[in-house]
Amino acid sequence: MVAKPVILCVDDEKIILESLKAELRREFAADFDVETASSGEAALTLAKELLYDGTNLMMVISDQNMPGMKGSDLLAQIKSLSPDTHTVLLTGYTDLDAVRDAVNLAGLFRYLSKPWKFDELGFTIRQASRDHAHQHRIREQKTRIRSLTDSMIYALEAANQQSDEDTYSHIHRVSLYSAALAKAHGQEDLWVERIALYSQLHDIGKVGVACQLLHGPEYFTDREIELQKQHVYYGHLILSADGIDEMAANIARYHHERWDGTGYLQALKGEAIPLEARIVALADVFDALTTPRSYRKPLSFSAAFDELLTLSGTAFDPKLVEIFRSLRREFESIHGSVRTDAPQLAGSSFNRDQPATSKG
C-alpha cells in the first residue's frame, strides 16, 4: 500500500495542537496522515526523518510564536529541504513582520490567523493538495523524460564511438548555447528548459545510419554523404513516438534546414522552419566550427564567432544571429567551460556535422 502524504502540524500549545490534529483527521483521514510536533526544532527533526524515508510531506502548518525556533524560520528551512511542500503559517496576532518573512523566505502558501476557521483551513488544504499532486505529476514526467533522453544519448555516444567527435561535450555545449539563445529570444522558462533537453537529441538519427557508413568523414563517398543526411529523417522517426514532445522531433528533423531554403531534407525556408530547429541549427554549426576534427583544425572562438555572423540571412535567421551577437560573452564562457577531448584519428566514421557553409 502506498503511504499517504503527510500534513505536519506544529504548535507549542498542546491543546491547540490536539484540536488541529483532531479536526484534520476527522476531515482528511482518507487522504493524509497527520503528524504533530510541539516545537520548531522537533518539527525540523521529524520533517528530515520523514523526507529521508521518502515520505511525501504535503504540508507543514506552523504556529508563528513559539519558544525557540519561530514558525517563519521553520517554514523557511522546510522549504529549502523540500521545495514542493506547502507551508501555512498560523499567527495569533497580526504579526506582519513574521508574515512578510514567511512569504519572502519560506515561499508561504497561506497564512491564517488564530483562531482559524476550519472552512478556511479545509479549503487551503484541498487547494494545496491539488497543486501538490499536479507538481508531483510534472516532476515524475520530467524524471521519465530525463532518463529516456539520457538513454538515447548513451545510444548516440555508442554509435558515435568510431567518430572523431566528442559527442558528450558537443551535445552539452549545443544544449547550453540553444538555451541561451532561446532565453534571449524571450521564450518562457519551460520552453527554454525543453530546448535545453531536446537539443541534446538533435543527432539521435545517426544511430540509424551509423552502420551503413564505411569511411571516415574526410573520405565519404557521394552515396555516404547522401546517406548521412538521412540522420534527420531517422531522428524524426525515432522521436515521433506517441507521448514524446513534438519539439524533440522538430529539432531532429529540421536542424539542417537553412534560412534561405537550401538546407536538407525538406528545404524549408525562413519561418517555416520551427524556431527550435533554427536555434539548434545555429548552436550546432557554431560548435562544429570551434571543434577540432581529424580532418581540419578548429577555428578560434573569435574566428568562429565572426564566421557565424557572415551566415546571417543565408544559413541562419537574421534575428537569431543578432541575438547571438549580443551573447558573445555567454557563448565564450560556455565554450571555455565545456571542453572537448582531442579528436582521435579518423577511423570508420559517419559523423561529419558539417558547417553551414558546406552541404555535406
Which spans of this chain sit near Fe ion (rule: CB under 5 A)? 203, 284, 353
Among residues 186, 203, 199, the alpha carbon closest in space to that of 283 is found at: 199
Q: Residue 255 Cβ, how far from Fe ion at the closest point, in Å?
A: 6
Q: Assign 95 to helix, strand or coil.
A: coil
SS3 content of the chain, % helix, strand, coil (to 5): 60, 10, 35
Q: Residue 130 Cβ, how far from Fe ion at the closest point, in Å?
A: 42
CA distance 59 to 47: 10
Q: Residue 214 Cβ, how far from Fe ion at the closest point, in Å?
A: 19
Cell numbers representing residue 287 in the block: 560548435
| Residue tagged active-site, from 79, 183, 206, 229 | 206
Nearer to Fe ion, 11 or 284 (CB): 284
CA distance 109 to 1: 29
Nearer to Fe ion, 11 or 224 (CB): 224
Phi then psi for residue 127, to 5 deg, are -65, -45
Check if the beta carbon of residue 320 is closer than 8 Å to that of residue 279: yes
Strand pairing category for 33-37 and 86-91: unpaired
Radius of gyration of the chain (CA): 27
Among residues 192, 326, 321, 314, the alpha carbon closest in space to that of 258 is found at: 314
CA distance 201 to 47: 39
CB closest to Fe ion, residue no? 353
Q: Residue 304 Cβ, how far from Fe ion at the closest point, in Å?
A: 15
Q: Residue 353 Cβ, how far from Fe ion at the closest point, in Å?
A: 4
Nearer to Fe ion, 98 or 285 (CB): 285
CA distance 46 to 39: 11
Helix and strand element counts for the chain (H, E): 15, 5
Nearer to Fe ion, 224 or 284 (CB): 284
Check if the beta carbon of residue 298 is closer than 8 Å to that of residue 141: no
Nearer to Fe ion, 77 or 200 (CB): 200
Nearer to Fe ion, 63 or 353 (CB): 353
Helix (H) or strand (E) holding 112: strand 110-113
Q: Residue 167 Cβ, how far from Fe ion at the closest point, in Å?
A: 9
Rounded to the nearest 10°, the torsion over CA 133, 134, 135, 139 is: 100
Strand pairing category for 86-91 and 57-63: parallel
Is 206 designated active site? yes
Q: Residue 235 Cβ, how far from Fe ion at the closest point, in Å?
A: 8
Q: How far is CA 16 from CA 29, 44, 78, 357, in A?
A: 19, 19, 21, 73
Rounded to the nearest 10°, the torsion over CA 337, 178, 171, 202 is: -170
Nearer to Fe ion, 87 or 199 (CB): 199
Residues designated catalytic: 206
